[in-house]
Amino acid sequence: MDSPIKNIGLRGVVIASTKICDVDGANSRLLYRGYLIQDLAMETTFAEVAHLLLHDKMPDIHELVNFTNQLERNRTLPPNLICAMQTRPVTTPPMDILQACVALLAHHDDSLPENSLPLARNRAMGLIAKLPTVVAAWTRIRQRLEPIEPVPGLSMAENFFYMITGERPDRRIAELFDRALVLHAEHAFNASTFAAREVASTRAHMYAAVSAAIGSLSGELHGGANTRVMEMLKAIGTKENIKPFVEDKLEKGELVMGLGHAVYKNGDPRVEILRPMSKEVGERVGDTHWYEMTEELERVGKALFKEKKDLEIFPNVDFYSASLYHTMGLAHDLFTPVFAMSRVAGWCAHIIEEQFADEAHKPVLYRPESEYIGTYCGPEGCTLVPMDKR
């Protein structure tokens, strides 16, 4: 059946109001609670940004110390969760482990099913604190190594590398990793946040909403793109291969990962911050090959999209994250879990807004309509043929 409805994937459809984030695609501007991403990335830490998102306030020094201490106290995983991970096949993708572990964490929350703003903020803090521990523990368990406990006194970034390798990372690498977490923490009604809000709108608990969001983030058109960018760079190998690679993709109508964005049509502001970070880390570890490949792919990709499709295309947040995380020494399938470790702050802020917004802005249960284009045999429905006659 022909349909006049074009599948637009909700592009441009405003479905709720939010005080958390403004993605201004036309002007390449990103605001978290009114603050420009450039200022947050260069002048604050991930802990400050997580506080801003959850409490709608930049923390003063006392609030920050308190918030950081609470994160520190929440990093350790219940022993049962580690045992559950140890029973999983070592080939299980880390995003699937993360999604399952968030669902399992609900079983360890004695305060469920009660919900209140303080309880929701505590749960959010628990998730922000524990996701890096889950990712690091799985990284070791799948190598048949014992997980390493988080240590007090280290930042979230330092702890993450420490729990993977057993060694404290270079201070500057940890600072830049923290900045990457700031850049990924929030992005309005993207696919995974929408998933979280949709689940929260049914009044399901925060763990259900966050695990749905992790499932959504795992797809290659969303958070999974950063891993796919690295696989693509590896497959291309050298700068000389970039032009034929992009030409081939365009000819076959296939995607060049890390390019394009559903909202930013004039450039993603996070790229301008990530590009020099990727360069700096490459120089620091003595391997700028992947940074240079990414830069060349940006240049050649832009020119070829213009020439062959008459389209201005720009890199998105995943493009330079790939070479950045690779040169930081992270396994490629950890790139998307790292994205989740940061975005969980945004998801939780949205879940809280969904469930505790003031009356004037309270969202309602999401329930869109669809247009039926399947079989139609008339108002009586199709004749049901008995099993022996089908």
Least Å from the CB of residue 217 to ligand COA = 11
Output 128 or 256, the one with its CB closest to ligand COA: 256
- Per CB under 6 A, which region of 254-262, 275-283, 289-297, 324-332 contacts ligand COA? 254-262
CA–CA separation, 58 and 53 (whole Å): 9
| Catalytic residue selected from 261, 268, 326, 350 | 261
Residue from 147, 260, 269, 282 touching ligand COA (CB under 6 A): that is 260
* Interface with ligand COA: number of residues (CB under 6 A): 14
CA–CA dist 315, 343 (Å, integer): 19
Q: Are 107 and 160 in contact (CB under 8 A)?
A: no
Q: Which of residues 287-316 bind ligand COA (CB under 6 A)?
A: 311, 316
Distances from the Cα of 12 to the Cαs of 8, 15, 98, 237, 350, in angstroms? 9, 9, 31, 38, 19
Q: What are 60's two structure tokens?
A: 């003063």
* Minimal distance, residue 84 CB to ligand COA, in Å: 31
Q: How far is the CB of 311 from ligand COA (least distance, A)?
A: 5
Sheet holding 21-24, edge to edge: 21-24, 29-32, 35-36
Closer to ligand COA at the Cβ: 130 or 275?
275
**Does 255 sit near ligand COA (CB under 6 A)?**
yes
358 is catalytic: no
Site for ligand COA in 209-228 (CB under 6 A): 221, 225
Among 259, 338, 341, 348, binds ligand COA (CB under 6 A): 259
Q: Which residues contact 167 (CB under 8 A, 6 or more apart)?
A: 161
- Alpha helix (H) residue ranges in the chain: 37-43, 46-55, 61-73, 79-86, 94-105, 117-141, 156-165, 171-184, 191-201, 206-217, 225-236, 242-252, 269-285, 289-309, 317-327, 335-356
Which residue, 129 or 256, is less far from ligand COA as judged by CB? 256
- Asked if 68 contacts 129 with a C-beta cutoff of 8 angstroms, the reply is no
Residue 154 is classified by DSSP as S
Of 88 and 332, nearer to ligand COA (C-beta) is 332
Residue placing its CB nearer to ligand COA in the complex, 193 or 355: 193
Annotated active-site residue in 51, 184, 187, 318: 318
Catalytic annotation present for 261:
yes
Q: Which of 127, 183, 217, 257 binds ligand COA (CB under 6 A)?
A: 257
CB of 50 to ligand COA, least distance (A): 21
Measured N-to-C along each axis, helices 191-201 and 335-356 cross at an angle, to the nearest 10 degrees, of 40
Q: Residue 299 Cβ, how far from ligand COA at the closest point, in Å?
A: 15
Site string for ligand COA, 316-355 (x = CB under 6 A): xxx-------------------------------------
Tracing tokens 């003063």 back to the chain, one arrives at 60
- Structure token pair of residue 147: 């997980």
As annotated, the active-site residues are 261, 318
Binding-site ranges for ligand COA (CB under 6 A) = 221, 225, 255-262, 311, 316-318
